[in-house]
A = this chain, B = another copy of it.
Amino acid sequence: MINFEFRNPTKIIFGTETEQQVGKEAAAYGKKVLLHYGGGSIKQTGLYDRVTASLEAAGLEVIELSGVKPNPRLSLVREGIELCKLHSIDLILAVGGGSVIDSAKAIGVGAVYSGDVWDFFTGKQEPKGSLPVAVILTIPAAGSESSPGSVITQEEGGYKRAFNSSHSYPVFSILNPELAVTLPAYQIACGTTDILAHMIERYFTNVTHVDLTDHLLEGAMRTVIRQAPRLLEHPDDYDTWAEVMWTGTIAHNNLLDTGRIGDWASHDIEHELSGKFDIAHGAGLAIIIPAWMKYVYTHDIERFVRFAVMVMDVELDINDPIQTVTEGIYRLESHFRRMGVPVRLSEAGIDESSFEEMADKGSASGTKSVGNFVKLGRDDMLKIFALAR
Contact = CB atoms under 8 A, between A and B. Distances in A.
Interface of A: 1-16, 18, 208-209, 211-212, 214-216, 218-220, 222-223, 226-227, 239-240, 242-243, 246-247, 250, 255, 258-259
Given A6-B11, A6-B12, A7-B11, 20 more contacts: A1-B242, A3-B16, A3-B18, A5-B12, A7-B10, A8-B8, A12-B258, A14-B258, A14-B259, A208-B239, A209-B240, A209-B243, A212-B223, A212-B243, A215-B218, A216-B220, A218-B219, A246-B258, A250-B255, A255-B255
- Top 3 A-B residue pairs of the complex, sorted by shortest distance between their CB atoms: A3-B15, A215-B219, A209-B239
A209 B237 CA distance: 11
Given A219-B218, A223-B212, A246 B1 contact: yes
A103 B249 CA distance: 34
A2 B15 CA distance: 7
B12 A9 contact: no
Contact of A13 (B5, B13, B212, B240): B5
A227 B255 contact: no
Contacts of A6: 11-12, 14
- This protein's copies in its complex: 2
Given A223-B215, A255-B255, A209 B246 contact: no
A5 B10 contact: no
A43 to B, nearest CB: 26
29 contacts: A1-B242, A2-B15, A3-B14, A4-B14, A5-B11, A5-B13, A5-B14, A6-B11, A7-B9, A7-B10, A8-B8, A9-B9, A12-B258, A14-B259, A209-B239, A209-B240, A211-B226, A211-B227, A212-B219, A212-B246, A212-B247, A212-B250, A215-B219, A216-B219, A216-B220, A216-B250, A218-B219, A246-B258, A246-B259
Residue with the greatest number of chain B CB neighbours at <10 A, chosen from A18, A212, A226, A242: A212
A4 B250 CA distance: 14
Nearest to A255: B255
A247 B215 CA distance: 11
A208 B243 CA distance: 11
A243 B211 contact: yes
Contacts of A246: 1, 212, 258-259
Contacts of A1: 15, 239, 242-243, 246
